[in-house]
Amino acid sequence: MTIYTASVTAPVNIATLKYWGKRDTKLNLPTNSSISVTLSQDDLRTLTSAATAPEFERDTLWLNGEPHSIDNERTQNCLRDLRQLRKELESKDTSLPTLSQWKLHIVSENNFPTAAGLASSATGFAALVSAIAKLYQLPQSTSEISRIARKGSGSACRSLFGGYVAWEMGTAEDGHDSMAVQIADSSDWPQMKACVLVVSDIKKDVSSTQGMQLTVATSELFKERIEHVVPKRFEVMRKAIVEKDFATFAKETMMDSNSFHATCLDSFPPIFYMNDTSKHIISWCHSINQFYGETIVAYTFDAGPNAVLYYLAENELKLFAFIYKLFGSVPGWDKKFTVGQLEAFN
Ligand code: 2P0
C-alpha cells in the first residue's frame, strides 16, 4: 500500500491588537483587523501529520493521543476547501495521484497544556490546514491558505506566518479578502521577547466564540472600538513594528488589551476574563515603566487571566528583577519565548 504523508508544526501567536467579534459566524469573518506576534516553535507548537491512501476507509483525527470527531462544521469546511484545491490541481495534470478522493488520517499533538489559555484552536487548525496543504502540494500562497485556516478558527490564520502578522478583515461577503499577511519577519526585530505569566491553568468558562457574540450583540462600547479605535490603532501599530519603535508598540498593545477587556465588561451580562492577579500584573507593569522612566514592558491578556509580557532582550534583567521580587519565582510559572521564524509550508 502506498501512503502519502506530510508533517508540519504550527506556532502559537499572541494578538497585540485583538480579534473580537464576527460579522459572519459561519465563515469566521471578523468585525476588525488584528495584529499578532508569532512565538518561536522551539517553545510552543502543534505538530500535525496527515496521511492519505486509497485504502483508507474514513477520515480520522487523533488529538494528543485521543481519537477526536472530525464531524464538526469547522473541520469539514477546511477539508472541503483543501480537497477542492487539490481536485483543481489533479484536473490540470491527470498524471497526479487522485489524493482529493481518498480519506485522510490526521494525528496532532501540542507540546503545551491545552488549558493554559494559549490558543490551542489557533495552532490546531493552522497545523491541520498546513499539513494537508503540504500533503496535497498545493501551489497557493501562504496568505491564500490562511483563508482556509481562518474558517477553522479565526486566529488560526495568523499562525501560518512567523514574525509579526496582520489579519486583514477584508470586506467581501464570501471572505476571499479576509486573510493573514506578514508585516515583518522575526529577523527584522529579533530583540523582541515574550513571556507568559501563568496565573491560572483552569479552563475559561466563557468560550471566545460565545463571548464575542455576546459582546457584538450587547456592547455599545464595542461599536466605538471597531469603528474608530481599531482602524487607527492598526496603522499606528503596524508602523511601530516596521520602525522597531518599542514604546509605541507597547503603548498600543496595552491600550488594546484594556479596550478589549473593557468591551467584555460592557457586554451584558458582563464577561470577566482577568482576575485580581491579572490586575496586579497590569499595575506593576505601569510601575516598572515609571520606575525606569521609559517603557520597557507591555502586557496583554487574551480570553483568560494569564498575562503575556512583551519586552526587548536587553531589558530582560531589568524586568525580571522586579517580577521575581513582586511575584516570587515558582519554577515554571514564567515562560520566556523569542519571536519565531516560520518556514513556508510549501
Ligand atoms: C485574538 N482571541 O486576537 C483574540 C483575543 C481571544 C482574545 O482570537 O471563534 O479562538 O475560533 O474564530 O480564534 C480567540 O478567538 O475564535 C481569539 P474563533 P478564536 O487572538
ipTM of the complex: 0.98
Shortest-distance atom of ligand 1 to CA 155: 13
pLDDT band at 335 (very low <50, low <70, confident <90, very high): low
Cα–Cα distance, 118 to 43 (Å, whole number)? 12
User: What is the tens place of the pLDDT at every residue in 246-305?
Assistant: 999 999 999 999 999 999 999 999 999 999 999 999 999 999 999 999 999 999 999 999
Centroid of ligand 1 to alpha carbon of 20 (angstroms): 7
Centroid of ligand 1 to alpha carbon of 155 (angstroms): 5
Q: Which residues of the chain does CATH 3.30.230.10 include?
A: 4-184
Cα–Cα distance, 160 to 142 (Å, whole number)? 7
The response to whether residue 165 sits with its C-beta less than 6 Å from ligand 1 reads no
Centroid of ligand 1 to alpha carbon of 296 (angstroms): 27
Asked if pLDDT for residue 323 goes beyond 90, the answer is: no
Centroid of ligand 1 to alpha carbon of 291 (angstroms): 34
Percent of all residues in the chain with a pLDDT value above 70, rounded to a whole number: 92
Q: Looking at residue 336, what is its pLDDT? A: 67
pTM value surpassing 0.90: yes
User: What is the tens place of the pLDDT at every residue in 222-245?
Assistant: 999 999 999 999 999 999 999 999
The response to whether residue 153 sits with its C-beta less than 6 Å from ligand 1 reads yes
SS (H, E, C) 85-120: HHHHHHHHCCCCCCHHHCCEEEEEEECCCHHHCCCH
Q: For cell 465563515, what's the residue?
A: 27
Cα–Cα distance, 339 to 99 (Å, whole number)? 35
Domain 4-184 fold: Ribosomal Protein S5; domain 2 (3.30.230)
pLDDT band at 346 (very low <50, low <70, confident <90, very high): very low
The response to whether residue 16 sits with its C-beta less than 6 Å from ligand 1 reads no
Question: Whose alpha carbon is nearest atom 11 of ligand 1?
Answer: 153
Mean local confidence (pLDDT), 177-181: 98
Asked if pLDDT for residue 341 goes beyond 60, the answer is: no
User: What is the tens place of the pLDDT at every residue in 77-116?
Assistant: 999 999 999 999 999 999 999 999 999 999 999 987 665 5
* Ligand 1, pocket-test mutation among 14, 208, 209, 271, most atoms within 8 A of CB: 208
Asked if pLDDT for residue 119 goes beyond 70, the answer is: no
Q: Which residues of the chain does CATH 3.30.70.890 include?
A: 192-338
Q: Looking at residue 121, what is its pLDDT? A: 82
pLDDT band at 344 (very low <50, low <70, confident <90, very high): very low
Q: Looking at residue 175, what is its pLDDT? A: 97
Nearest to 194 by CA among 67, 51, 298, 280: 298
Q: Looking at residue 117, what is its pLDDT? A: 60
CATH classification of 192-338, choosing from 3.40.718.10, 1.20.1070.10, 1.20.120.50, 3.30.70.890? 3.30.70.890
Question: Whose alpha carbon is nearest atom 7 of ligand 1?
Answer: 302
Q: Looking at residue 345, what is its pLDDT? A: 42
Please state which of the ranges 43-47, 145-149, 280-284 shows the lowest mean pLDDT: 43-47
DSSP string across 237-280: HHHHHHTT-HHHHHHHHHHHHHHHHHHHHTSSS------HHHHH
Please state which of the ranges 67-76, 117-126, 249-258, 293-302 shows the lowest mean pLDDT: 117-126
